[in-house]
C-alpha cells in the first residue's frame, strides 16, 4: 500500500489554466499551503495531496472532493479571516484561492482527522433512515430534553457573530436573449444572437469562459482553424466589444421564475484578497433579468457509481479528475483505478497516464467493449477488467485499494475478489443533462432511454435547451445546437433572421457511448453490512432507501423526506438520479414511473445578503419626514413615532423631564396656552368635478349635498363589509371642488379605494382625484385665545371666532405667501389649521415660534407631539381609526349613529343591517373612569363584569382601546369597546390586571370634557 | 434649542423657501456624472378627458400639446415648459420656478366649461437630475424599467418604482446628444431616500455615497 | 415484526438489519362504499380520519389524496405552533390544538419532535405594542400561555436578534408564548396516517375526486379517478383546492387561493433558540433540528394554483430578515418553495356544514393552519360524526359571512401565521 | 413575477401593479332589497377559479388606471388584458381537464411534469 501512505496528488509539471507565475498561499485548518492564481480551494488542496476536507452530516465519515464544480456533494468548509466575515458551508470546488485565504473544516470535533462524531458511524446500524421518528417519545415535553443534543450534533457550519460589513447590490436587466452557461453551446448561442443584433447576456458560474473545453488538454481541440482556447478568447473579445452584450463570469443563474424572469448571482469580490478588493465594489450582486428568450446551456452532470464503500476520500468522478488535471494542472492520484459504465471515463485514464500517473486498472461493467477503445488501452498497457465492478474499497481517511470482481451475464458476482492498490478511484456512471433550470421554468422533462437520464422535453416559457443540457454530448453537436438556438432566439425576439457562421470542431471528443446502468453494484457482503452511499452529504445509503420502501413509503417525495436524500446543501445534484433509479429498480418500476423530486430554486445556495441587495440598513424602508422635520429634530430631546412610513414627533422633552412629564405639559399647554402641532402628514386629496358631491355621498356615510363653499364637514368612510375604514374632514372649495383629508396611515389606501370605485364601479361620475398630501405643510394651532396669534400671522383675514366660525375655512396670506386656514379641531379647543405650500413649511413654523415668549415673542407657545394630541382628542372623545377601531367596528358601535344618513346608499351601508351587525349586544365604544383617579389602565386591558376573575376562561366584555392620564381633568381617562356598552352608562365594571385584583371602572360617555362639565366625573 | 443649522434660525425679512433636498449639495462622479436637484420647478397636475385632450392647446401652454401617446412629453421650443403624460387623462405641466401660480390661473380660465382638475403639486414633488454616461446603468439598480436606449428614448416619461419610492423617470431632450439627463420626479418625503439610494448605486462610478438622514430617537 | 416504535425495537432491528419494520400504512384498494370519505390527505384530513376512528368509532372511512399524503401545505409550511390568538373562538380551537400537540407524539407512537421552544411576536411601534398587549391580556383570561417581554428581555430570550434603537423598525417588545414552538411536519402526517391506518382507515393516494353525487340535496357518493364510492358523508379538507371541491356541490366559498412562499437556509450549528415572528417587518423564522433556518413571509396578492410566488417577496423577506438579524447576511438560502393557501375574509377558518346534507367543509386556514392540525381534525371529526358543530367548531360556520359575525383575527394581528 | 402589459404603458414588472381580485363583480344598485345571503355573495364569495380567471389590476406606480386581466391561475399564464367595462375576450387556453384543474404543462402541482412515452415534443 505504498502509494496510499504517502501524500497523494500532485501538481503537474505543465499544463492547466492556472497562472504558475503567481503562487498564492492560504491556510486550511491552520496549516499553510501553496497554490496558484486560478486554483480553486479544491484544486489547490488536491495539489497538496489533501483529499479529505470534511465530515459527513450524520455519521461524521471522512469526506473528500468528488466533483470539480457546484455539484460536489460534501466538500464544504468554513471560510473567512474571523468570526464575522465568515462563510459557512463553502464548497471548496467553487471557492477560488487568494493570498491569505483561511479555510477550516466544520462539523467535526476536536479535529477533522479525529472527530468524536465518528461514534455515530460506529453505531450507524441503530441510526437508519427515520430512526428519530421511532424513539425519544417519553412523556410530554420529553423531546425537549433530547432536542438540544440533537440540535448541537446537527447543523454544519457556524454563522457569523456580528453584522456583515460588506455591501450587496441588486440590479435589473432586460435582455433579448439570456444564455446560461458559457461552454461551447452557450458561447455559440450568445455569438449567434449577438451577431443578429440582440441584447445578449451570457453568464457562466465559473471564473472562465469555455465550459467543458477547459477540461480538455490544452491544444488538443481546435475550433475552426484555431486552437480552442484561442478561438474562445476571440469570441469573448468580440462579445465584449459589443455594447449590447454583457458577459458575466462567477455568476450563477440560480432561479428561473415566471415570464422569463431569471435571477443571477454574481460573486464580485469573493475571489480577491482583501487587499485587492476595491472598497466601493459590492461583495456580490443579484441581477434580476427579464429576458425575451432564454437559452439554457447548463451542461451535463456526471453520476457516480453506487457501490459498497464508495464514499472514501479519493473516490472521485472521472470527469472531475480530468478537469482537475487539464484545467488546474493537478493529478488527483498517482495510482488510479477507473470504474466506468461508459466510454467517457476512459479519457480520464488516458489523460492521467499522459500526465504521469499509473493506471492500475480500468474496470468497466460492460462485457462488450468497443474494439477501438480496447485497442487504445491495450496499446497503452492499461489492464482492462471488462464485465467487472468495484465491489468494495479499503482505506481509512483515503482510499487505498479497490476490490474488483467479475460480473456474470445477469449482473451477479462470479469471481473471487481481486484487490488492487490505488490512491484514486475515478468513476463514472454516465452523464445526465443538467435540467434544474429547465425544470424550474416549468418545462416538461422526458426520460431518454439512451442517456438513462431526464432531458428537456416541451418548453413552457420562451426557452431553449442546448448542448449537453439537452443531451447532446458531442462537441460539434453542442456548437451547432447553440448556434442555431442563438439565431432562432434572436429572431423570436424580433431581430432579422440571419444564418450564423458555422464553427467546426477539429475532432470528436470521447463521449459517453454504450451506457449501461446498474442502479447498485452488487456486493458479496451480507446485505446489512453493505454501505453504498447515494447521498454523500446526508449519509443516505441504499439500505436507507430500502428501509423506507419496506416501511411503505413509495412516493419519491416520501422517500426523499424519510431518508433526506438530496436534501443537503448540494440538493442532490449528482445523487438524485441514482436515488430515482435505485427506487425504480427496487419497486420494479421504470424511472419515469417513479418520477423526480422538484428542482427548486435556487440552483445552488445564494447568500441572503445578496438577495436583500441594497435594501438593508438605512435603505431598508424610507422614512418620510415633513417640511418642519429639521426643526423637530433640532430640539434638545425629541422622541419620534413611526406612523405608517412617516416619522412624527411624539413629544418634545425639556430638560429634566421624562416622557410622561413632557406629554402632560404639552397636553396642558394646548388647553391653557397655545399648542402647535405639525399636522402635515394627514392625507389630502383634491376632489373635483360636477359629480363630486354625489361621489362623496356614496363614499361617506353622511350627506354632502348641502355643504356650502367655505365650509367643512367630518366624514366617516366604511368598507363594503360595513366596518369603519378611515375618517377625516373634507372642505367644500367650490360647488364642484372639495379638499378631503384622511388619516396619516390611511392616505394611500383611501386614494386607492376612491380611484377603484370611480374607475370601476362609477365610471359615469365626472370626478377627478389628485393627491396633494405633500403639497402643503400644516401647522395646527390650538388653545384658548390662539386666534390672537393667528391674527398676528395672517395678512388679510381676521380669525375672530365670532366671524370665522367653527368648520369654516378661508384663503389668506402670510407675508404675501398664500395659505389656507381651516377652523377645525381635533382637540375640542379653539383651533386653526394653517396650510401652506410645503416649501414654506419650515419658514412658517419658525415664524410661529418667533412669536413665542421663549424666543422673545409674546405668546406662550408649546410645540406638542402625537402623544399629547392623542390625549387631547381622547379628552374630547374623538376616535382614532386603527386604535379605537380594529376593523370590526361599525359607526353604530362607535356611537356615531348621527353620522349615518337616513336614506341613500353608500359603501358599506347594506352590511350594517345584517343580523349580526345590527345586534344590540355588540361591543360599543364607551368612556371609562377608574375608581382610583390616578391609576392609568394599560391599553389592551380586558374588561370583565365581576370583581372576581374566577377560573379561566373568564368572560370578557371588552377591552381598553385608549388610556391616558388627563392633566386637564386631573385624572385618568380611558376609552373602551364594551359589550352593550352604550346601555351601561354609570355601571361599574372591572379592569382585569395581571397578578392584581381587578380595578373597578365606571362607564361614562366618551366626551370626558362634557362628562366633567356635566359633573359625571 | 440647537441652532447650529442656519436653516433653523428665526425668519427675518422675506419668506424663506426651502425644497425637501435643500440639505443636499450637488454630487459628481467619473466622466461628468452629476446629480443635483432642480429646485422649485413649477408643477401642475392636469386631469382632463382623453377625448378632448388632443384637441385642446391652451394658450397658456405656449403651443405645447397635451401628449396623448403614453409615456411621452412635449416641450416648448425654449425648453422652459413641458407637458408630461402621466396617464390617459392625466398630465404634469412642468414650468420654470415661480411660474406655476400664474400658469394655473390662466389654465383655469382657459379650461372653464370643461370637466377638468388642475392641482398645484410644485412642492409635492422634487426633481432630481442625473447626468452622465452611466446614468442608465445607475437607474437599472433602482428600477425594473427597461432603460435601454431602444426602450427609453429622449422625451419619454415613465412612472415606476425606484427602490421603494414611486417616481416618474423622465429623460430630458438634450441638444448636445452627448450626455443624457434623466429627471426623477419623486414625492418630497421620499426625496432624501431616493437621493441616497442613487448615490449608493453611483458609488461604482466615483460618486460619494450619502446616507439617509437618520438618528431620530424612536424608543422611549 | 416491529410494529411498535421504541428504543428497544430500534436496537433489535439494528442488530437484524432493519428487516422487520412493517409498512407504516397499507396501500388498500378503494372499497365501493364507506361510512364517510375525507377529501385531502394532508395533516388536517388525516387528523380528521384519526379522530373519527379513535373518538367516534368510524373506521369504515377513506382518506382520498390526489397526490401523496402530506404533499400540499402540510409539507410546505414552517411548522410554527402557537395558540395566542385574540378572540375567544380562536383561542379555544388553537389552544385545544396545542393541548393535543403536547401528547400527540406519544398518542401516535411516532416522534413528531414537538419542540415547545417559545414563539416571539415582535412589536416595532406603539400601535403594535398596544395590539399585542391586548392579546396577551385576552390570552391570560382565556387560559392561554402568553406574556409580554420588553426589548431587553427579547434580546435575552433570543440573543442573535438586533434591538438596535436606530433600526427603521426597532424592536420595542414582544409577546412570548413559551409553550409555542415547532414540530416536524412529515412526522405528523406519517404518524397520523399510520395510526389511522392501524384502526382501519383506508388511505388512498394518487386518487383524485372528479365528482360528487347528490340526491335530493344529500350526498350519496363520489367519483374518483380510481372508481365510484357510495357514502353518505363527505368531508372536504382540500386547503387551496377547497373551491374546486365545493364547486362540485354548488357550494360557494368566501375563499381565495394565494401563493405563499417559504425557504430554508443551509444547515448551521444552533443559532436561534426560538421562533421569531414580525408583522411590521414581515418575516418569521425558526431553526429546524437539522440546523436550517426556516423562513416565511407574506402571501402574493393574487389567486394562483401554481405553487409559485414572486421573487420580490423573497427579496423583501430577506431584507426584512437582515433588519432583524444583520448577522445572517452571509448565510445562504438553500431551497425555496411555494404553497397554495386558502385565505378567508376574516383570516379565520371555516369548519362547517353546508346547504348540502352530508357535505362538510374544513377550509380557510390561510397562512396559519398547521398549528391547528389536531384541533381542526378533532373538531371536524366531531362535526362529521354528529352532523352538528361542537362548541369549538360552531363559531367557524359558513353562516357567519351572511350574518356578519366574523372572527376577525386579521384586524387583531394583520397576518395570522 | 409576472410581466404585465398595461393597456397604456406597455409591458412592466408586476411590482408596479396592484391586484384587485376577481373582476366583473358589479356592485349591486338595489342593495336594500337584497337578502343577507345575496349581499354576502357580493361582499365575500369568490369564484377563485383554477384555470381561466378574470381579475382586476391597477398600474399603481404608473398611469394609475384599473384594467382587467385574464389569467390561467393553474399556470399563471396571462391570456389577455382588456379595459374596464369590456367583456373578457375568448382566448384559447389549456382549460382544466380534471376538477383539480391540473394543467398538462406550466403548473407546479403534485410533481415535476414528465412527458409520456411517445408524446410529441
| pLDDT tens digits along A143-163 | 888 899 989 999 999 999 999
CB contact under 8 A, C6 and A135: yes
- CA closest to D23 among chain A residues: A760
> Within 13 Å of residue A243, how many CA atoms lie on the same side as its CB?
6
pLDDT value for D94? 63
CA distance A611 to C319: 8
CA B120/CA B136 separation, integer angstroms: 30
The beta-carbon neighbor of C403 closest among D15, D36, D74 is D36
Same domain, B143 and B92: no
Q: Which residue has the cell 439598480?
A: B141
Q: Chain B contact for C19, CB < 8 A?
A: no
Write the class of the CATH domain D3-28+37-97.
alpha beta
Q: What pLDDT score was predicted for residue A870? A: 97
Given an 8 Å threshold on Cβ–Cβ distance, is B88 in contact with D65? yes
Contact A550, C23 (CB under 8 A): yes
- Does a structural domain hold residue B12? no
Distance CA(A157)–CA(C292), nearest Å, equals 11
Interval A447-460: pLDDT, tens: 999 999 999 999 99
Q: Which residue's C-alpha cell is 446551456?
A: A297
Overall domain count for chain B: 2
CB contacts under 8 A, B 105-164 vs A, are 115-117, 119-125, 140-141, 143-148, 151, 163-164
Least confident of A116-120, A234-238, C216-220: A116-120
CB atoms within 10 A of CB A5: 10
Integer Cα distance of B9 and B123 in angstroms: 22
> Rounded to an integer, what distance in angstroms lies between the CA atom of residue A467 and that of residue A183?
9
Per-residue pLDDT at A740: 98
Other beta carbons within 10 angstroms of residue A81's beta carbon come to 11
**CA distance, residue C146 to nearest chain D CA (Å):** 33
Q: What is the pLDDT of residue B2?
A: 40
| Chain A residue numbers touching D121 (CB-CB < 8 A) | 457-458
Q: Return the biggest CA–CA distance within chain D.
A: 60
Judge if B58 and B75 occupy the same domain.
yes
- B-side interface with D, Cβ within 8 Å? 70-71, 86-88, 90, 144-145, 158-161, 166
- Would you mind telling me the total number of residues written for chain B in this entry? 220
Cβ contact (<8 Å) for A554 and C27?
yes
How does residue A294 score in pLDDT terms, banded at 50, 70 and 90?
very high
Torsion on CA atoms A414, A417, A422, A426, rounded to nearest 10:
20
Q: SS3 of D83, please?
A: strand
Which of D94, D120, D118 is CA-nearest to residue D107?
D94
Query: Which of A143, A148, A160 lies closest to C105 in CB terms?
Result: A143
Residues A723, A888 contacting (CB under 8 angstroms):
yes
Whole-Å CA distances, A474 to A60, A204, A561, A913, C375: 40, 20, 36, 75, 59
Contact A1014, A927 (CB under 8 A): no
Residue with the larger pLDDT of the pair B55 and B38 = B38
Backbone phi, then psi, for A215, in 5-degree steps? -95, 0
Interchain CB contact of A919 with D (< 8 Å)? no
Contact: B70, D63; criterion CB under 8 Å: yes
What's the pLDDT score for residue C417?
A: 39
Number of residue pairs across A and C with CB atoms under 8 Å?
335
What's the residue count for chain C? 417
Same domain? B81 vs B64: yes
Residue B171 lies in a domain: yes
What is the spatial distance between Cα C370 and Cα C375, in angstroms, rounded to a whole number? Answer: 10
Residue at grid coordinates 391616558: A964
Q: What is the pLDDT of residue A513?
A: 86
Residues B161 and B188 in one domain: yes
Chosen from D54, D68, D74, D109 to mutate, greatest number of chain C CBs within 10 A:
D109
Is the separation of the CB atoms in A789 and A821 below 8 Å?
no
Q: Percentage of residues in chain C with pLDDT exceeding 90?
A: 91
* A267 beta partners: A284
- What is the number of H-type helices and E-type strands within chain B? 4, 11
Quick one: which of A328, A322, A351, A527 has its CA closest to A427?
Answer: A322
Closest-CA residue of chain A to D76:
A258
What does the pLDDT look like over A51-93, one tens digit per residue?
999 999 999 999 999 999 999 999 999 999 999 999 999 999 9
pLDDT more than 90, % of chain A: 90
Span A281-298, average pLDDT: 98
**Greatest Cα pair distance in chain C:** 66
Question: Is residue B157 one of the residues assigned to a domain?
Answer: yes
pLDDT band, very low/low/confident/very high, at B50 (cuts 50, 70, 90): confident
For A175-220, the pLDDT digits (tens) are: 999 999 999 999 999 999 999 999 999 999 999 999 999 999 999 9
Chains A & B: contacts with CB separation below 8 Å: 178
Q: Does C355 touch chain D (CB under 8 A)?
A: no
B22 within domain boundaries: no
* Region A703-710 average pLDDT: 97
Report which of A684, A691, A658 is spatially closest to residue A744, judged by C-alpha positions. A684
Ramachandran sector of residue A198 (left: φ over 0; alpha: ψ -120 to 50; beta: rest):
beta
Residue C97 DSSP symbol: H
D10 vs B contacts (CB less than 8 Å): 70-71
Give the 3-state secondary structure of residue A517.
Answer: coil
Q: Is B133 exposed, middle or buried (0-12, 13-18, 19+ CB in 10 A)?
A: middle
Q: Which pLDDT tens digit goes with each residue over C369-414?
A: 999 999 999 999 999 999 999 999 999 999 999 999 999 887 654 3
Closest CA to A991 of A944, A957, A950: A944
Please check whether residue B21 lies inside any domain of the structure. no
**Which residues of D fall within a CB distance of 8 Å from B87?**
8, 62-65
Give SS3 for B111: helix
Q: Are residues B78 and B95 in the same domain?
A: yes
Q: Which of residues 3-22 of D touch B (CB under 8 A)?
A: 8-10, 12-13, 15-16
Nearest CA in chain C to D105: C306
The pTM of the full predicted model, rounded to 2 decimals, is 0.96
- Kindly report the length of chain D: 121
Q: How many CB atoms lie within 10 A of CB A600?
A: 18
Q: Is A962:A941 a contact under the CB 8 Å cutoff?
A: no
**Cα separation of A104 and C14, whole Å?**
34
Q: Say if residue A741's pLDDT is above 60.
A: yes
Question: Is D119 close to A598, i.e. CB distance below 8 A?
Answer: no
Amino acid at each position: 500500500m505504498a502509494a496510499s501512505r504517502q501524500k497523494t496528488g500532485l501538481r503537474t509539471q505543465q499544463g492547466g489554466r492556472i497562472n504558475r507565475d503567481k503562487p498564492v498561499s492560504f491556510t486550511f485548518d491552520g496549516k499553510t499551503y501553496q497554490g496558484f492564481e486560478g486554483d480553486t480551494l479544491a484544486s489547490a488542496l488536491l495539489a497538496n495531496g489533501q483529499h479529505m476536507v470534511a465530515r459527513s452530516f450524520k455519521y461524521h465519515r471522512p469526506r473528500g472532493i468528488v466533483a470539480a464544480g457546484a455539484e460536489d456533494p460534501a466538500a464544504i468548509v468554513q471560510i473567512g479571516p474571523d468570526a464575522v466575515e465568515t462563510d459557512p458551508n463553502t464548497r471548496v470546488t467553487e471557492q477560488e484561492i487568494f493570498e491569505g485565504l483561511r479555510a477550516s473544516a466544520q462539523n467535526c470535533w476536536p479535529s477533522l482527522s479525529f472527530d468524536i462524531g465518528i461514534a455515530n458511524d460506529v453505531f450507524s446500524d441503530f441510526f437508519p433512515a427515520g430512526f428519530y421518528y421511532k424513539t425519544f417519545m417519553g412523556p410530554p415535553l420529553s423531546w425537549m430534553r433530547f432536542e438540544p443534543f440533537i440540535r448541537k450534533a446537527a447543523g454544519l457550519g457556524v454563522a457569523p457573530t456580528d453584522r456583515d460589513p460588506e455591501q450587496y447590490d441588486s440590479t435589473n436587466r432586460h435582455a433579448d436573449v439570456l444564455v446560461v452557461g458559457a461552454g461551447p453551446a452557450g458561447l455559440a448561442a450568445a455569438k449567434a444572437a449577438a451577431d443578429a443584433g440582440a441584447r445578449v447576456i451570457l453568464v457562466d458560474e465559473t471564473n472562465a469562459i469555455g465550459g467543458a473545453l477547459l477540461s480538455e488538454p490544452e491544444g488538443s481541440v481546435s475550433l475552426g482553424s484555431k486552437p480552442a482556447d484561442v478561438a474562445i478568447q476571440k469570441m469573448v473579445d468580440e462579445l465584449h466589444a459589443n455594447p449590447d452584450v454583457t458577459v458575466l463570469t462567477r455568476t450563477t443563474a440560480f432561479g428561473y421564475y415566471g415570464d422569463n424572469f431569471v435571477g443571477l448571482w454574481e460573486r464580485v469580490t469573493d475571489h480577491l484578497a482583501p487587499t485587492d478588493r476595491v472598497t466601493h465594489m459590492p461583495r456580490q450582486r443579484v441581477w434580476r433579468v427579464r429576458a425575451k428568450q432564454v437559452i439554457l446551456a447548463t451542461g451535463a452532470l456526471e453520476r457516480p457509481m453506487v457501490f459498497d464503500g464508495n464514499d472514501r476520500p479519493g473516490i472521485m468522478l472521472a470527469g472531475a479528475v480530468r478537469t482537475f488535471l487539464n484545467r488546474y494542472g493537478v493529478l488527483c492520484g498517482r495510482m488510479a483505478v477507473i470504474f466506468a459504465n461508459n466510454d467517457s471515463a476512459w479519457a480520464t485514464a488516458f489523460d492521467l497516464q499522459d500526465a504521469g500517473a499509473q493506471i492500475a486498472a480500468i474496470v468497466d461493467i460492460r462485457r462488450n467493449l468497443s474494439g477501438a477503445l480496447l485497442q487504445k488501452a491495450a496499446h497503452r498497457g492499461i489492464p482492462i477488467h471488462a464485465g467487472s465492478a468495484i465491489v468494495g474499497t479499503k482505506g481509512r481517511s483515503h482510499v487505498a485499494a479497490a476490490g474488483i470482481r467479475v460480473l456474470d451475464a445477469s449482473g451477479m458476482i462470479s469471481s473471487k475478489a481481486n484487490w488492487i492498490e490505488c490512491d484514486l478511484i475515478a468513476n463514472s456512471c454516465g452523464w445526465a443533462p443538467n435540467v434544474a433550470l429547465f425544470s424550474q421554468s416549468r418545462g416538461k422533462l422526458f426520460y431518454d432511454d439512451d442517456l438513462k437520464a431526464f432531458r428537456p422535453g416541451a418548453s413552457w416559457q420562451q426557452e431553449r435547451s442546448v448542448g449537453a443540457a439537452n443531451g447532446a454530448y458531442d462537441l460539434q453537436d453542442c456548437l451547432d445546437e447553440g448556434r442555431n438556438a442563438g439565431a432562432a432566439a434572436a429572431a423570436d425576439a424580433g431581430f432579422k433572421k440571419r444564418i450564423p457562421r458555422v464553427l467546426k470542431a477539429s475532432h470528436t471528443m470521447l463521449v459517453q457511448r454504450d451506457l449501461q446502468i446498474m442502479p447498485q453494484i452488487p456486493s458479496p457482503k451480507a446485505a446489512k453490512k453493505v454501505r453504498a452511499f447515494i447521498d454523500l452529504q446526508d449519509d443516505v445509503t441504499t439500505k436507507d432507501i430500502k428501509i423506507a420502501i419496506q416501511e411503505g413509503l413509495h412516493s419519491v417525495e416520501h422517500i426523499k423526506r424519510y431518508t433526506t436524500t438530496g436534501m443537503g446543501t448540494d440538493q442532490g445534484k449528482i445523487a438524485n438520479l441514482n436515488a430515482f433509479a435505485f427506487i425504480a429498480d427496487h419497486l420494479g418500476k421504470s424511472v419515469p414511473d417513479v418520477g423526480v423530486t422538484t428542482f427548486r430554486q435556487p440552483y445552488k445556495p445564494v447568500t441572503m445578503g445578496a438577495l436583500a441587495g441594497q435594501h438593508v440598513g438605512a435603505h431598508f424602508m424610507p422614512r418620510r419626514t415633513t417640511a418642519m422635520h429639521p426643526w423637530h429634530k433640532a430640539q434638545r430631546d425629541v422622541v419620534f413615532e413611526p406612523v405608517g412610513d412617516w416619522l412624527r414627533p411624539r413629544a418634545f422633552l425639556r430638560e429634566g423631564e421624562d416622557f410622561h412629564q413632557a406629554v402632560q405639559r404639552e397636553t396642558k399647554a394646548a388647553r391653557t396656552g397655545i399648542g402647535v402641532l405639525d399636522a402635515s402628514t394627514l392625507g389630502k386629496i383634491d376632489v373635483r368635478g360636477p359629480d363630486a358631491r354625489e361621489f362623496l355621498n356614496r363614499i361617506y356615510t353622511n350627506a354632502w349635498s348641502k355643504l356650502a363653499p367655505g365650509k367643512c364637514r367630518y366624514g366617516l368612510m366604511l368598507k363594503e363589509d360595513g366596518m369603519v375604514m378611515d375618517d377625516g374632514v373634507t372642505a367644500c372649495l367650490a360647488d364642484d371642488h372639495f379638499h378631503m383629508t384622511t388619516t396619516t396611515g390611511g392616505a394611500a389606501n383611501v386614494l386607492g379605494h376612491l380611484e377603484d370605485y370611480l374607475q370601476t364601479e362609477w365610471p359615469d361620475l365626472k370626478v377627478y382625484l389628485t393627491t396633494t398630501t405633500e403639497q402643503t405643510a400644516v401647522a395646527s394651532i390650538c388653545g384658548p385665545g390662539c386666534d390672537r396669534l393667528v391674527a398676528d400671522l395672517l395678512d388679510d383675514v381676521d380669525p375672530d371666532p365670532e366671524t370665522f366660525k367653527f368648520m369654516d375655512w378661508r384663503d389668506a396670506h402670510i407675508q404675501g405667501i398664500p395659505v389656507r386656514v381651516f377652523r377645525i379641531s381635533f382637540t375640542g379647543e379653539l383651533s386653526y389649521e394653517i396650510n401652506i405650500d410645503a416649501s414654506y413649511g419650515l419658514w412658517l413654523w419658525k415664524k410661529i415660534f418667533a412669536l413665542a415668549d421663549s424666543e422673545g415673542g409674546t405668546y406662550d407657545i408649546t410645540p406638542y407631539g402625537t402623544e399629547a394630541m392623542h390625549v387631547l382628542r381622547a379628552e374630547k372623545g374623538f376616535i382614532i381609526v386603527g386604535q379605537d377601531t380594529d376593523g370590526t367596528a361599525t359607526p353604530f358601535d362607535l356611537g356615531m349613529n348621527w353620522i349615518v344618513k337616513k336614506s341613500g346608499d353608500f359603501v358599506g351601508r347594506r352590511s350594517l343591517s345584517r343580523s349580526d351587525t345590527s345586534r344590540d349586544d355588540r361591543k360599543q365604544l364607551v368612556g371609562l373612569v377608574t375608581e382610583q383617579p390616578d391609576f392609568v389602565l394599560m391599553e389592551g386591558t380586558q374588561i370583565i363584569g365581576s370583581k372576581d376573575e374566577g377560573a379561566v376562561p373568564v368572560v370578557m366584555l371588552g377591552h381598553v382601546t385608549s388610556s391616558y392620564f388627563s392633566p386637564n381633568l386631573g385624572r385618568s381617562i380611558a376609552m373602551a369597546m364594551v359589550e352593550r356598552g352604550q346601555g351601561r352608562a354609570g355601571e361599574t365594571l372591572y379592569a382585569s390586571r395581571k397578578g392584581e385584583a381587578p380595578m373597578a371602572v365606571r362607564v361614562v360617555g366618551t366626551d370626558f370634557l362634557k362628562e366633567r362639565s356635566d359633573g359625571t366625573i | 434649542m440647537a441652532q447650529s443649522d442656519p436653516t433653523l434660525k428665526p425668519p427675518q425679512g422675506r419668506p424663506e423657501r426651502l425644497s425637501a433636498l435643500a440639505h443636499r449639495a450637488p454630487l459628481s462622479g467619473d466622466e461628468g456624472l452629476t446629480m443635483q436637484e432642480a429646485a422649485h420647478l413649477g408643477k401642475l397636475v392636469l386631469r382632463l378627458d382623453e377625448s378632448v385632450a388632443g384637441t385642446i392647446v391652451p394658450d397658456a401652454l405656449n403651443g405645447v400639446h397635451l401628449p396623448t401617446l403614453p409615456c411621452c412629453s412635449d416641450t416648448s421650443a425654449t425648453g422652459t415648459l413641458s407637458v408630461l403624460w402621466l396617464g390617459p387623462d392625466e398630465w404634469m405641466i412642468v414650468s420654470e420656478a415661480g411660474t406655476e401660480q400664474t400658469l394655473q390661473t390662466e389654465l383655469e380660465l382657459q379650461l372653464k366649461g370643461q370637466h377638468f382638475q388642475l392641482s398645484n403639486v410644485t412642492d409635492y414633488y422634487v426633481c432630481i437630475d442625473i447626468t452622465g454616461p452611466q446614468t442608465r446603468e445607475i437607474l437599472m439598480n433602482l428600477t425594473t424599467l427597461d432603460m435601454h436606449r431602444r426602450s427609453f428614448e429622449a422625451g419619454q416619461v415613465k412612472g415606476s418604482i425606484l427602490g421603494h419610492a414611486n417616481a416618474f423617470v423622465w429623460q430630458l431632450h438634450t441638444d448636445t446628444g452627448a450626455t443624457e439627463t434623466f429627471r426623477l420626479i419623486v414625492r418630497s418625503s421620499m426625496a432624501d431616500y431616493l437621493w441616497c439610494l442613487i448615490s449608493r448605486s453611483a458609488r461604482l462610478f466615483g460618486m460619494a455615497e450619502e446616507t439617509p438622514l437618520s438618528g431620530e430617537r424612536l424608543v422611549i | 415484526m416491529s410494529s411498535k416504535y421504541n428504543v428497544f425495537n430500534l436496537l433489535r432491528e439494528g442488530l437484524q438489519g432493519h428487516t422487520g419494520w412493517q409498512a407504516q400504512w397499507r396501500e388498500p384498494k378503494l372499497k365501493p362504499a364507506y361510512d364517510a370519505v375525507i377529501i385531502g390527505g394532508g395533516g388536517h384530513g388525516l387528523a380528521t380520519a384519526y379522530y373519527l376512528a379513535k373518538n367516534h368509532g368510524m373506521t369504515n372511512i377513506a382518506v382520498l389524496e390526489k397526490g401523496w399524503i402530506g404533499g400540499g401545505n402540510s409539507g410546505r409550511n414552517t411548522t410554527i405552533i402557537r395558540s395566542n390568538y385574540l378572540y375567544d373562538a380562536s383561542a379555544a380551537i388553537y389552544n385545544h390544538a396545542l393541548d393535543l400537540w403536547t401528547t400527540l407524539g406519544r398518542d401516535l407512537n411516532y416522534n413528531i419532535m414537538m419542540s415547545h421552544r417559545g414563539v416571539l411576536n415582535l412589536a416595532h411601534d406603539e400601535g403594535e405594542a398596544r395590539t399585542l398587549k391586548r392579546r396577551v391580556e385576552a390570552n391570560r383570561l382565556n387560559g392561554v400561555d402568553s406574556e409580554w417581554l420588553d426589548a431587553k428581555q427579547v434580546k435575552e430570550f433570543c440573543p442573535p436578534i438586533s434591538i438596535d434603537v436606530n433600526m427603521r423598525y426597532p424592536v420595542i417588545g414582544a409577546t412570548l408564548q413559551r409553550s409555542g414552538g415547532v414540530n416536524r411536519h412529515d412526522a405528523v402526517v406519517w404518524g397520523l396516517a399510520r395510526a389511522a391506518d392501524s384502526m382501519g382507515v383506508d388511505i388512498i393516494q394518487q386518487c383524485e375526486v372528479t365528482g360528487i353525487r347528490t340526491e335530493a340535496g344529500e350526498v350519496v357518493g363520489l367519483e374518483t379517478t380510481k372508481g365510484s364510492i357510495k357514502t353518505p358523508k363527505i368531508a372536504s379538507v382540500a386547503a387551496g383546492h377547497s373551491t374546486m371541491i365545493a364547486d362540485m356541490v354548488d357550494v360557494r366559498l368566501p375563499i381565495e387561493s394565494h401563493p405563499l412562499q417559504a425557504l430554508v437556509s443551509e444547515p448551521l450549528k444552533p443559532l436561534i433558540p426560538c421562533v421569531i415572528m414580525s408583522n411590521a417587518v414581515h418575516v418569521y423564522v425558526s431553526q429546524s433540528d437539522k440546523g436550517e433556518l426556516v423562513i416565511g413571509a407574506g402571501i402574493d396578492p393574487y389567486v394562483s394554483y401554481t405553487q409559485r410566488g414572486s421573487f420580490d417577496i423573497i427579496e423583501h423577506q430577506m431584507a426584512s430578515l437582515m433588519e432583524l438579524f444583520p448577522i445572517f447576511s452571509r448565510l445562504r438560502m438553500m431551497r425555496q418553495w411555494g404553497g397554495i393557501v386558502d385565505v378567508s375574509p376574516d383570516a379565520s377558518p371555516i369548519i362547517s356544514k353546508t346547504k348540502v346534507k352530508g357535505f362538510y367543509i374544513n377550509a380557510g386556514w390561510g397562512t396559519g393552519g398547521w398549528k391547528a392540525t389536531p384541533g381542526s381534525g378533532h373538531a371536524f371529526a366531531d362535526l362529521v360524526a354528529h352532523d352538528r358543530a361542537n362548541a369549538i367548531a360552531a363559531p367557524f360556520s359558513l353562516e357567519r359571512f351572511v350574518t356578519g359575525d366574523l372572527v376577525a383575527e386579521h384586524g387583531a394581528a394583520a397576518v395570522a401565521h | 413575477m409576472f410581466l404585465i402589459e398595461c393597456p397604456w404603458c406597455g409591458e412592466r414588472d408586476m411590482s408596479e401593479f396592484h391586484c384587485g381580485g376577481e373582476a366583473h363583480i358589479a356592485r349591486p344598485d338595489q342593495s336594500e332589497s337584497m337578502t343577507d345571503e345575496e349581499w354576502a355573495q357580493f361582499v365575500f364569495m369568490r369564484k377563485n377559479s383554477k384555470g381561466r380567471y378574470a381579475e382586476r389590476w391597477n398600474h399603481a406606480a404608473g398611469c394609475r388606471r384599473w384594467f382587467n386581466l385574464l389569467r390561467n391561475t393553474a399556470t399563471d399564464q396571462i391570456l389577455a388584458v382588456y379595459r374596464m367595462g369590456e367583456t373578457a375576450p375568448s382566448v384559447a387556453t389549456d382549460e382544466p381537464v380534471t376538477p383539480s384543474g391540473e394543467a398538462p404543462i406550466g403548473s407546479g402541482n403534485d410533481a415535476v411534469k414528465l412527458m409520456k412515452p411517445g408524446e410529441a415534443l
